[in-house]
Structures are given as structure tokens and as C-alpha cells.
Amino acid sequence: MANKKATLAIGSENIELDVLSGTLGSEEIDIRALGSKGYFTFDPGFTSTASCESKITYIDGDQGILLHRGFPIDQLANESTYLEVCYILLYGEPPTEKEFNTFKTTVTRHTMIHEQITRLFHGFRRDSHPMAVMCGVTGALAAFYHDSLDVNNERHREIAAFRLLSKMPTLAAMCYKYSLGQPFIYPQNNLSYAGNFLHMMFATPCEEYVVNPVLERAMDRILILHADHEQNASTSTVRTAGSSGANPFACIAAGIASLWGPAHGGANEAALKMLEEISSVEHIPEFIRRAKDKNDSFRLMGFGHRVYKNYDPRATVMRETCHEVLNELGMKDDLLEVAMELEHIALHDPYFIEKKLYPNVDFYSGIILKAMGIPSSMFTVIFALARTVGWIAHWNEMHADGIKIARPRQLYTGYTEREFKSNLKKG
Ligand code: SDX
């Protein structure tokens, strides 16, 4: 909605631009008209640029607010389940009992993968990073589901969404089993979404595996906390890939690839490795010094955020969950002690306060997942599994709004035209 104007004065020319306001958040200058006047804006990393309009998630970085379709993340994490949050993200409203049962049954009934996909795994080395495997097998789903690739067909998009939501836990658990050389465990339709994932991760054909309800609830909460987060790097990647009309499986594979980066979803694995490297409270000051040193590339993994300049509300819930899991398992984790001391120092150190570097969602998740017996190489796989619903919701929203291929401009600072002369001998 445009109810204000901004005037851009360039030389003797005044260009009037609409100022758009949403239901929440900052006003935004609509610069679309600039292109036709021969002007473009420069904003590497899109620190000041909105790429789209969306109704799915809202973040207020200064207030530490995160809403999914208007519902605060702490209420969803404490009072809902991941599958109900998936429904809300995809359809916009909480489901009725009947709607939820239909949704849950559909997801449950599509958790198995095509048996030939299991052979794809055997093309990878056993010690492959599971995110490399996830990128490969997720993209390969397009080779098995030709009946739901017409991105302009809403029903096709819904079928693909269910297939992805249903099969990501199965594929993720298969990555883990493959790395161990253990047999794949088939989904169990009588288990919850999180319970089924834990069962596929830790069960073996030799004996019954009973899912611990505290760990099941903790995993479900971790999935909720990672479900969606506005236009983060991986979601923007999915939207960009989808803007060319690419099929949903290829777009989600692109999102997985982007999430893998240590500055993004790879931070949970990197944060745990950092805590292990610090190893004791006595070593923290040295690492704090390195984090402040401009000439040292070291950063406190699990701290800082492009948007949150206050505490990440997800980290608050994650911290509570961390203590619940460790208490349930009767574990005293030295790394948690390091984490708590690191958090305390960072929250009181002028450098971090001035740069507003608070613990983010990745700071505690690694400790919980490690306590559950999950290797750090699987942390980002679980992040990808959880974020799939957010990627699908944004991909669908982009299609529903009418896609326009993403094609940013650039500031060219290379050579002007010059004549080519090869340095190579002819013939
Ligand atoms: C996720 O976008 C999302 O929503 C992402 C996510 C989601 O759910 O999708 O929330 C998930 O990716 C969480 C972030 C996980 N990443 C990490 O924990 C990695 C460590 N954090 C940093 O790499 C960094 O904070 C970023 C990448 C998260 C944000 O970087 P920005 O916004 O581009 O900020 P910046 O790099 O420009 O840093 C601002 C200043 C810099 O100092 P100056 O150049 O101004 O002097 O803060 C410093 C940085 O050097 N800084 C840090 C720091 N993060 C930023 N210094 C030490 N340790 C850090 N972690």
C-alpha cells in the first residue's frame, strides 16, 4: 500500500517514488520505476533491499520478534507441533481437527521413497558429508516424480509439497544410516513426525527402538524453531531458483546447498566445533580476543544475525530445551558450561553489545543434538529437514503471486572495450 512519496533528486532531475507500508515493519521505497529511467541501486547482500512481498513470516530484529502467520514463535514452540506449524505456514490458518487429520495422514502416507532411490546412496562414499548427499538425492527426486512437475499447476505444486514434507525425514535418516554402514530403516506410520525421524535414525533391524518422549518433543520443537525465517539466504535461493520455473525438487536442492554454508545453516555444526575447540572456560578469553581482531577471520559461530539486533527468540526456547534434554538424559555437558559462560561474557562485553551480537538459533541447537547422539555432520541436515516447509511455503507464495524471473543488475568496474590479441602461437 503506497500512501507516501519519496523524491530522489539526481542532478536537475527529481524522481518521485512510492513509499510502501505493510501491516508490520519498516516502510519501503518502491524503486521499480528507476530502471526505466536508466538508474539502478547498489546493495550487495541485500542489506537494505526487500526482494518480495510476503505474508508468511515476520521478524522484528530490534524487538526480537518472530511471527509465523501472526503467531509468536514461543507460543508455537510451546503449544503446537511441527506438523500443525507446517499446516499454518502452508495454508495460513490453524487447521481444524478434521483438516489436520487429513493433512497428517497424507504426510504419513508418503514417507516412503522409491526403492530405486536407495541405490543412489550407494554411489556416494560412506564418509561423504550428509549435506552433499542430501543435495544430490533431493534434486534426484525430480527424476522419479514426473507427474508433479508442472509448476503452473496448483495441484502439482501441492503434491510435490507433500512429497517433500513427507520424504525429507526419510532421506535425512538414510544419510545418517548410510554413513554408518547400517541398513536403512523404513518409516513407521504409527509414530509422530519427529518420533518417526528419531526411529529411522536410531532403530536397527535387530531390536526394538522405543522413542524417548522427551527427546521426541525436543526434536519436534527444534523442527518448529527452524521451520521458516523470512527471506534468509536459502529461502531467497529457493525463490530465485523457482523464479525461472524450475521444478520444486531442484529448488529445494538449491536451498539445501545454500543452507550448508557456515554463515547460515552450517553455523550449528560450526558452533559445536567452536565450543569443542574452546573446550574449557579458561580458554574463552583468547577466543573472545580473536573474535574482536579484525585481522583474524575467526568469528563466534552461533552469534550475530543480519536481522536480529536483539536476542534471537528461537535461542531462548532452544536454551530451555537444551536444559530439559540434558536433565532428562542425566547429562552434564562440559560444552554447555562453556556455552553458558561464553554467552554470559558475550552479553556483557562492550564489543558484542555495541555490535548487537547475541546468540542465535544455532548456538544451542548443536548441544541438544549432540546430547541426543546425533553427529555434528547431521546438524545442518536436520535444519534443512525443518526448513523444507518454509522453502515450500515461499515457493508456493511466489507462484501464487505470479513469478518474475530474478535477474539483479550489477555495478560494472571491469575493462572498457579493447581489441583482442592472443598470446598463443597459432596452429
Ligand atoms: C542463520 O538470515 C536468517 O534468518 C538466517 C537464519 C535462519 O533461520 O534462516 O537465522 C539462520 O543463518 C543464523 C546465523 C548463523 N550464522 C552464524 O552464527 C555465523 C556467525 N555469524 C556471522 O557470520 C554473522 O553474524 C552473520 C553472517 C550471521 C550476519 O552477518 P552480517 O549481518 O552481514 O553482519 P556483518 O558480517 O556485517 O557483521 C557486523 C559486524 C562486523 O564487524 P565490523 O566489520 O562492523 O567491525 O559484527 C561483526 C563483524 O565483524 N560480527 C562478528 C560476528 N558476527 C558479526 N564478530 C564476531 N563474531 C561474530 N559471530
Per-residue pLDDT band at 367 (split at 50, 70, 90): confident
Helices 379-401/361-371 angle, 10° precision: 130
CATH of 266-372, one of 3.40.50.970, 1.10.3680.10, 1.10.230.10, 3.40.50.10490: 1.10.230.10
**Beta-strand relationship, 13-20 and 65-68:** unpaired
CATH of 5-50, one of 3.40.190.10, 3.40.50.300, 3.40.50.2300, 2.20.28.60: 2.20.28.60
Same fold, 70-259+378-401 and 266-372: no
Closest CA to 299 of 371, 360, 255, 237: 360
DSSP conformation letters of 193-228: HHHHHHHHHH-BTTB--PPPHHHHHHHHHHHHHTS-
**Beta-strand relationship, 2-10 and 28-29:** unpaired
Q: Which residues have a Cβ under 8 Å from the Cβ of 52 and sit 6 or more positions away?
A: 231, 239, 398, 401
Q: pLDDT per residue over 165-195, tens digit each?
A: 999 999 999 999 999 999 999 999 999 999 9
**Probe target for ligand 1 pocket from 226, 303, 318, with the most ligand atoms within 8 Å of CB:** 303
Q: Give the predicted TM-score (pTM) of the model.
A: 0.93
Mean pLDDT of the chain: 94
| Any ligand 1 atom below 6 A from CB of 306 | yes
pLDDT at 337 over 90: no
Per-residue pLDDT band at 8 (split at 50, 70, 90): very high
Q: Which of 68, 129, 305, 399 is catalytic?
A: 305
Q: Which of 228, 362, 394, 399 is catalytic?
A: 362
Quick one: pLDDT at residue 148?
A: 77
Q: 203 CA to middle of ligand 1, Å?
A: 37
| Any ligand 1 atom below 6 A from CB of 323 | no
| Any ligand 1 atom below 6 A from CB of 301 | yes
Could you confirm whether 228 is annotated as catalytic?
Answer: no
Q: Looking at residues 19-28, what average pLDDT do you find?
A: 95
Q: Looking at residues 325-351, what average pLDDT do you find?
A: 86
Q: Looking at residues 128-153, what average pLDDT do you find?
A: 92
**Domain 70-259+378-401 carries which CATH code?**
1.10.580.10
Could you confirm whether 323 is annotated as catalytic?
Answer: no
Domain ranges of the chain: 5-50, 70-259+378-401, 266-372
Match 553489545 to its residue by C-alpha cell. 353
CA–CA separation, 242 vs 64, rounded Å?
30
